């Protein structure tokens, strides 16, 4: 059904979301370019940041290009297979964001709690293994969502009150009692997110306790500054994600649900690279050198 039926707003939405999509793609590609071109950035935290940027590219590309195409062609139709495919990739990339943010919190925990053994603990094998486990867990989570969806009978030619195939809305379109399935999906999502968030909170509890034991104020500031970007991204991701869950569960306003979805799906992947690049002097320095080299 898209964001609005008002024909006057369609060009506005087209320009707005096309601009946001291009900014997100450019920002994440710049992160990848900076890290890959500078050997000094070939460290665990930037390895995870590159994976987060790749994941954000996939996350926003799963929904926004189709919405932009629908606005441009004045067509909102989508086949059942295409809808399931979009739902599957949406779940994969959303889960990957959760996993990578938790892994990055663990990386900051090791860097501050065990600085002398950081390179030994966060070796290449462990970093690659953590990313592979994140991918595997995300694939399993996605296929569980799809399995529930596929097993249910659906009406034909239904309308989805969103700008993409939202998994939670799909369950309401079945010609079967979907209440139990919605509880299962929401409970699984909330439990999964809770344990990952608990891991992040535990890591930062240990980080803060270590920082407080540092005697000099300069040392405390330096240690804390290495975590600011990650904390900002975590707050943005979980804040908007929680907004989506609460708005869909508690609010009866379709417009509020869409605003929460836009913040979660579009705004968060767009802001992540800028939060990291603006806080990282290494990335800014690398991008500056690349700009001077091209000129």
Measured CA to CA, the distance from residue 152 to residue 276 in angstroms comes to: 42
- Residue 155: pLDDT above 70? no
- Domain count for the chain: 1
Q: What integer pLDDT is reported at residue 131 of this predicted model?
A: 96
What 3-state class would DSSP assign to 37? Answer: helix
Has residue 200 been placed in a domain?
Answer: yes
Are 63 and 90 in contact by the 8 Å Cβ rule? The answer is: yes
Has residue 3 been placed in a domain?
Answer: no
| Distance (Å) of CA 238 to CA 41, 79, 228 | 27, 31, 15
Higher pLDDT, 284 or 117: 117
pLDDT tens string 202-254:
988 888 888 888 777 777 777 777 788 888 888 888 887 776 666 655 555 55
pLDDT band at 51 (very low <50, low <70, confident <90, very high): very high
Could you tell me the CATH number of the domain that includes residue 197? 1.20.1070.10
Has residue 191 been placed in a domain?
Answer: yes
Phi-psi region at 166: left, alpha or beta (left = phi > 0; alpha = psi -120 to 50): beta
Q: Which residue segment(s) compose the domain that 89 sits in?
A: 10-294
pLDDT tens string 105-137:
999 999 888 888 898 999 999 999 999 999 999
The model carries a pTM of: 0.87
The mean of the pLDDT values for the chain is 82
Measured CA to CA, the distance from residue 6 to residue 158 in angstroms comes to: 21
């Amino acid at each position: 059904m898209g964001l609005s039926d008002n024909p006057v707003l369609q060009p506005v939405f087209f320009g707005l979301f096309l601009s946001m999509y291009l900014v997100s793609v450019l920002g994440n590609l710049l992160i990848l370019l900076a890290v890959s071109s500078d050997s000094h950035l070939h460290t665990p935290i930037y390895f995870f940041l590159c994976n987060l940027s790749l994941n954000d590219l996939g996350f926003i590309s799963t929904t926004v290009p189709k919405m932009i195409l629908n606005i441009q062609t004045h067509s909102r139709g989508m086949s059942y297979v295409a809808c399931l495919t979009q739902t599957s990739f949406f779940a994969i990339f959303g889960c990957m964001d959760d996993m990578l943010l938790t892994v990055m919190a663990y990386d900051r925990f090791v860097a501050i709690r065990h600085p002398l053994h950081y390179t030994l603990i966060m070796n290449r094998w462990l970093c690659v293994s953590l990313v592979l486990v994140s991918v595997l867990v995300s694939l399993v989570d996605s296929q569980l969502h799809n399995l529930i969806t596929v097993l249910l009978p659906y009406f034909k030619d239904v309308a989805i009150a969103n700008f993409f195939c939202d998994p939670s809305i799909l369950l309401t379109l079945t010609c079967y009692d979907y209440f139990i399935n919605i509880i299962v999906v929401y409970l699984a999502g909330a439990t999964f997110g809770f344990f990952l968030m608990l891991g992040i909170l535990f890591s930062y509890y240990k980080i803060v306790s270590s920082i407080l034991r540092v005697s000099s104020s300069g040392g405390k500031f330096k240690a804390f500054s290495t975590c600011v970007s990650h904390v900002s991204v975590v707050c943005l991701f979980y804040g908007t994600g929680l907004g989506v869950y609460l708005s869909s569960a508690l609010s009866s306003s379709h417009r509020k649900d869409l605003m929460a979805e836009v913040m979660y799906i579009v705004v968060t992947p767009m802001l992540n690279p800028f939060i990291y690049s603006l806080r990282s002097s290494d990335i800014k320095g690398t991008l500056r050198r690349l700009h001077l080299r091209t000129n």
